[in-house]
Amino acid sequence: MTNQGIGQPVRRKEDFRFITGQGHYTDDINRPGQLYAYFLRSPHAFAKIKSISTDAARKMPGVVAIYTGKDVAADKVGGLICGWTVKDKKGEPHKAPRHDIIAIDHVRHVGDQVAVVIGRSLGEARDAAEAIEVDYDVLTPVVDVVNALKPGAPEVHADAPGNLCYDWDFGDKAATEAAFAKAAHVTKIDLVNNRLSPNPMEPRSAIGEYEPGTDNTTVYTTSQNPHVIRLILCAFVFGLPEHKVRVIAPDVGGGFGSKIFNYAEETVCVWAARKLKKPVKWTSDRTEAFLTDAHGRDHVTHAELAMDKDGKFLGFRVDTKANMGAYLSTFASAVPTYLYALLLAGQYTTPAIYAEVKAVFTNTTPVDAYRGAGRPEATYVVERIVEAAARELKMDPAELRRRNFVPDNAFPYQTPVACVYDSGQYAKALDEALKMADYNGFKQRKAEAAKKGKLRGIGLCAYIEACGIAPSAVVGSLGAGVGLWESAQIRFNATGSVFVHTGSHSHGQGHETTFAQIVSDRLGVPLESVEVVHGDTALVPMGMGTYGSRSLAVGGSAIMRAADKIIDKGKKIAAHLMEASVDDVAYDKGVFSVKGTDKQVPMAQIAFTAYVPHNYPADLEPGLEASAFYDPANFTFPAGVHVAEVEIDSATGVTRVANWVAVDDFGKVINPMIVEGQVHGGIAQGIGQALLEGVVYDPKSGQLLTASFNDYCMPRADDLPSYKVGMIETPCPHNPLGVKGCGEAGAIAAPAALMNAITDALGTEKINMPATPQNVWNVIQSQNLAAAAE
């Protein structure tokens, strides 16, 4: 059993069904009598709907119903909500214009829902949608934050003047200004954090189903947090009682944040199913995914870093404009504020920090959390400017960082932007990473590359993130509409096997293995006897879901608590069986014993006795199960250092990632193989952002130019290097497992590391992501580097 417990690289239990094509996803589910929804979507970025004629379409074969926004409004269905209210500089709540599940008078981005056809087959529904006539009054759209904020820009919503969702700030403005006043050196940088499309392998899908006999509604949906979807649908959209709605998120093929949110499509399926008393199914195609899955990032930032003559950071100020898209998605408002500005201290002791963020509406797909959510954007700003500062000061970037790190003996460390870092060893991670990357040998490698006409560069990123969201009281005080605890239930069967019900949701993270390892380790049950159950509100009593690298730190901690309750009860049963006092019973790895004797009882016997209580304590309930909730005391703060090395072909502008080192501190590691996999995947996404990916809208028409994989460039295996991954374990001091979270780190660290390497190679900071061959070549031309390299 020892080779299956905590710390062991156990192979993922779930992989057999995934690799053999036996996963069971929402689109694999078909319900008796099921109908199909097809959405007619806006071809325009911005238009007034003058009229919609469905007469011809209704007569088409297979059409059961056609609904427009007016039908939805007639049923008094609420709009989609934003679950986090950000208050602006003046204390006013953000602007959250109505977000109808089907547009009523205006469409505000290409792909906005205009009507839905419910048909007996998808093909028939689609044919009918083409027969719907919509008369639009096409308006001039605005797609980027800079133009949207200009006076006289088209206004996306009448109730959001100047396209401003909020103008927010955080930190100590006066102290920061004072710091700049006494600075010996100020480094300035302008950055664009490119907009990304999440592209999970499985597109979104949903089935709404209604049983008139019981008045029960069931929703099958591709969600990272089925309980949250239930709460939103019941409490905000439909006004239904939660106990009459069941949300099932079966196998989900990746989410990266995009499946946290409540979308129009699943909401329409539920509404239509209740109206028609028939199951209604919708599955996104890839184009719809590009048009409607919430995008990520899209910031334009100016930042300034004040230093003394020795490069000690004195003050940091940041001005960011964040694109919200056409509507506020479920958690959109929190991403460029509380998940962003609170991380601007990085790993450093910068004493004064001030951030201003304007959130802006545009005629584009809504933007929300995407792997890292705010923290990659913060890391990108901090780590690009630190590297730029080192270059200006002609100082080794590693040394500048070291000089400013929060020292090991300073934890818990209060930053000037609210966070209390719980633990870390920042210099150790840096030293380890530099060694693994042969940092000292770089000059020679650069010289050798130059002989071949190649420009070689090296870049660092010392990132920090806040995971394990979150202490409910803290996020509540910041405007969150929910608590961010997690729940778990452990239930033994009489024959010794165990169900673990978790409110976390696995959509690629490997919970079925990691969580089982925890239970196996703690309760002494073989791994194969542990079944992790998740993703169904009828089976899992409560939950808040999976995002923000929270599942292990919060969900795993709830499981540990439940396990402790099992052990406590087991001790009482064991004491009875061994005729000892409960106080004399010891427990270790599945075995109860009487201290100082050789008497012992294994967990399996305790479980059997609990359900066959023939010889049992008189005052004890039968059964062996326990529920627990866990609300974290603090965020966790994973941190680490990544080193990227690139070689650029100066003739073509092609960047090859020549070397990659990641040294991460995730606290205690439960399954090093799964953790390394998460690091690999995260870096792949980060490299994707830095080199390849980027959503592009036509600035005039607002058309999405990257609406397929022909134009939106996803990383492929041969774009990526082999990673050298190292680990440092500084346990988290405030959760029972000592864990911090690892799901987003790679995506957070990689863009800055890679861009620092590219800007090192090119000798200029003036290049934006993605550093495509064309962009790099343009810089090479402007710098005349090709000639220099030849």
The mark string for 413-442 relative to other proteins (x by CB under 8 A, - otherwise) is ------------------------------
| DSSP classification of residue 724 | E
Q: Could you tell me which residues are beta bridge partners of residue 454? A: 649
**Within its chain, how far is the Cα of 17 from the centroid?**
25
Decide: is 646 part of the binding site for other proteins (CB under 8 A). Answer: no
Residue type, 187: T
For other proteins, which is the closer residue by CB, 447 or 705?
705
Decide: is 30 part of the binding site for other proteins (CB under 8 A). Answer: no
The mark string for 114-153 relative to other proteins (x by CB under 8 A, - otherwise) is ---------x--xx--------------------------
Phi, psi for 220 (deg, rounded to 5): -95, 130
CB of 290 to other proteins, least distance (A): 12
Calpha distance 327→362 (Å, rounded)? 8
On whether the CB atoms of residues 390 and 760 are closer than 8 A, the answer is: no
For the chain, helix, strand, coil in percent to 5 are 35, 25, 40
For other proteins, which is the closer residue by CB, 182 or 716?
716
CA distances from 81 to 182, 582, 627 (A): 45, 52, 31
For other proteins, which is the closer residue by CB, 62 or 351?
62
Calpha distance 552→654 (Å, rounded)? 39
Size of the site for other proteins (CB under 8 A): 22
CB of 644 to other proteins, least distance (A): 18
Location of structure tokens 């909730």? 629
CB of 192 to other proteins, least distance (A): 15
Contact pick of 147, 216, 287, 768 for other proteins (by CB under 8 A): 287
| DSSP classification of residue 10 | P
Decide: is 651 part of the binding site for other proteins (CB under 8 A). Answer: yes
CA-based nearest residue to 678, from 437, 514, 517: 514
Decide: is 778 part of the binding site for other proteins (CB under 8 A). Answer: yes
Contact pick of 247, 692, 727, 761 for other proteins (by CB under 8 A): 692
Contact pick of 2, 710, 722, 784 for other proteins (by CB under 8 A): 710
For other proteins, which is the closer residue by CB, 288 or 676?
288
Token representation of residue 452: 């071949």
For other proteins, which is the closer residue by CB, 211 or 698?
698
The mark string for 218-237 relative to other proteins (x by CB under 8 A, - otherwise) is --------------------
CA-based nearest residue to 634, from 732, 495, 565: 732
CB of 786 to other proteins, least distance (A): 9
Calpha distance 414→349 (Å, rounded)? 9
Pairing of strands 655-665, 639-649: antiparallel
CB of 570 to other proteins, least distance (A): 54
Calpha distance 249→503 (Å, rounded)? 11
On whether the CB atoms of residues 179 and 350 are closer than 8 A, the answer is: no
Calpha distance 531→506 (Å, rounded)? 13
DSSP-assigned states of every residue in 96-146: -----SS-SSEE-STT-EEEEEEESSHHHHHHHHHT-EEEEEE-----SHH
For other proteins, which is the closer residue by CB, 551 or 650?
650
Pairing of strands 216-221, 245-248: parallel
For other proteins, which is the closer residue by CB, 495 or 778?
778
Decide: is 254 part of the binding site for other proteins (CB under 8 A). Answer: no
Contact pick of 420, 450, 478, 713 for other proteins (by CB under 8 A): 713
CB of 710 to other proteins, least distance (A): 4
What residues have CB less than 8 Å from 30, skipping those under 6 apart? 281
Q: Kindly indicate which of the ranges 204-212, 392-400, 559-567, 766-774 contains the residues binding other proteins, using the contact rule CB under 8 A.
A: 766-774
For other proteins, which is the closer residue by CB, 175 or 696?
696
CA-based nearest residue to 778, from 647, 645, 652: 652
Helices within 587-711 (DSSP H only): 603-611, 672-687
Decide: is 637 part of the binding site for other proteins (CB under 8 A). Answer: no
Decide: is 696 part of the binding site for other proteins (CB under 8 A). Answer: yes
Buried b / exposed e along 305-316 (16+ C-beta atoms within 10 A): bbbeeebbbbbb
Calpha distance 64→345 (Å, rounded)? 57
Provide the sign of the torsion angle of the four alpha carbons 217, 223, 228, 229, taken in this order. negative
Q: Kindly indicate which of the ranges 109-117, 639-647, 759-767, 773-781 contains the residues binding other proteins, using the contact rule CB under 8 A.
A: 773-781
Helices within 210-340 (DSSP H only): 226-231, 264-276, 286-292
CB of 692 to other proteins, least distance (A): 6
For other proteins, which is the closer residue by CB, 199 or 537?
199
Query: Backbone dihedral region of 127: left (phi > 0), alpha (psi from -120 to 50 degrees) or beta?
Result: alpha
Q: Could you tell me which residues are beta bridge partners of residue 209? A: 218
For residues 254, 258, 261 and 265, what is the CA-based torsion angle, rounded to 10 degrees? -90
Residue 787, SS3 per DSSP: helix
Decide: is 712 part of the binding site for other proteins (CB under 8 A). Answer: yes
Decide: is 192 part of the binding site for other proteins (CB under 8 A). Answer: no
CB of 713 to other proteins, least distance (A): 4
Calpha distance 731→668 (Å, rounded)? 5
Decide: is 773 part of the binding site for other proteins (CB under 8 A). Answer: yes
Token representation of residue 6: 């905590």
Location of structure tokens 């379409």? 57
CB of 711 to other proteins, least distance (A): 5
Contact pick of 239, 774, 782, 788 for other proteins (by CB under 8 A): 774
Decide: is 526 part of the binding site for other proteins (CB under 8 A). Answer: no
Decide: is 453 part of the binding site for other proteins (CB under 8 A). Answer: no
Q: Kindly indicate which of the ranges 324-332, 443-451, 639-647, 768-776 contains the residues binding other proteins, using the contact rule CB under 8 A.
A: 768-776
For other proteins, which is the closer residue by CB, 414 or 652?
652
Q: Kindly indicate which of the ranges 45-53, 407-415, 521-529, 771-779 contains the residues binding other proteins, using the contact rule CB under 8 A.
A: 771-779
CB of 123 to other proteins, least distance (A): 8
CB of 649 to other proteins, least distance (A): 9
Calpha distance 674→727 (Å, rounded)? 13
CB of 450 to other proteins, least distance (A): 18
Contact pick of 495, 711, 763, 782 for other proteins (by CB under 8 A): 711
For other proteins, which is the closer residue by CB, 53 or 708?
708
For other proteins, which is the closer residue by CB, 471 or 653?
653
Token representation of residue 561: 């608590």
For other proteins, which is the closer residue by CB, 426 or 712?
712
Phi, psi for 720 (deg, rounded to 5): -115, 145
Decide: is 170 part of the binding site for other proteins (CB under 8 A). Answer: no
On whether the CB atoms of residues 737 and 556 are closer than 8 A, the answer is: yes
Decide: is 709 part of the binding site for other proteins (CB under 8 A). Answer: yes
CB of 652 to other proteins, least distance (A): 6
Decide: is 706 part of the binding site for other proteins (CB under 8 A). Answer: yes
Contact pick of 121, 597, 652, 782 for other proteins (by CB under 8 A): 652
Decide: is 784 part of the binding site for other proteins (CB under 8 A). Answer: no
For other proteins, which is the closer residue by CB, 18 or 709?
709
Contact pick of 703, 764, 768, 772 for other proteins (by CB under 8 A): 772
Residue type, 143: V
CB of 787 to other proteins, least distance (A): 13
Phi, psi for 491 (deg, rounded to 5): -130, 115
Decide: is 783 part of the binding site for other proteins (CB under 8 A). Answer: no
Residues that bind other proteins (CB under 8 A): 123, 126-127, 287, 651-653, 692, 696, 705-706, 709-714, 772-774, 777-778
